[in-house]
Amino acid sequence: MRPSRVFRLIFRIFILLLTISMTVVTLLGGWSAILILSNPNNIQVDPGSAEFNFDVNFTSGYVENVNFSLPVNITNAGYFDMENLGLNVQISINYSHIDWGGPGVNVTRSVTILDFQNMTIGDILKGTTGNLVFFVDNSSFIHGDFPNLATEINWFRSPSAVEFYANFTISLDYSLGMHSLAITAVNLIVGSFSLP
């Protein structure tokens, strides 16, 4: 056999093995994504476990200090490690603004008080669960968007005078970086309060 034929045969075998291995990795990665996303217990963001802590100056009506924490549990039920996990969180406050459109006119407003982008979580190995706590302190909130609690909020609004909504996006790379996933939850109620 001539050397050129041997080289072509080796090259074809190499390309065949490469194609087969990439196909197997892609199929396992797609199947793993289905395994992870098909079970709602694999990605748990429980808005009922969210905690807000406010320090309010009731003389001026402004929020002086605030922090927020939320537990997030992610189970990797697939065949590969979850890599480059990231978390984006946006929190809005919904309230009835007194006299916004003119005297005696109350308008429901929704303003964003937190827009936290690109929190890096890291990696979660296959078959393990990552128990994470998302925590932001006072410096991350947009204080200029908080309403004046003494003069701007209709405290007699029902069901709650002030409601907090959150949008979450969890992003990750999977299957040796061949798949990128983003899981989004929109308008989850993470808290509310009213006057007793």
Concatenating the DSSP letter of every residue in 21-40 gives HHHHHHHHHHHHHHHHHH-T
Residues 150 and 64: their CA atoms lie apart, in Å, by: 13
Which of 6-15, 77-86, 93-102, 170-179 holds the top average pLDDT?
Answer: 6-15
Residue-wise pLDDT tens digits, 110-142: 999 999 888 888 899 988 998 888 888 888 888
> In the predicted model, is pLDDT for residue 5 greater than 80?
yes
Q: Residue 101's pLDDT band (boundaries 50, 70, 90)?
A: low
pLDDT digits (tens, 9 = 90+) for 156-189: 887 788 898 999 898 988 877 778 888 888 998 8
C-beta of residue 70 within 8 angstroms of C-beta of residue 134: yes
182 three-class SS: strand
Average pLDDT over residues 81-108: 84
* Residue 38 CA neighbour count, 13 Å, CB half: 8
> How many C-beta neighbours within 10 Å does residue 178 have?
13
Dihedral angle at the C-alpha atoms of 16, 19, 24, 29, nearest 10 degrees?
170
Whole-prediction pTM: 0.75
Q: Where are the domains of the chain?
A: 3-193
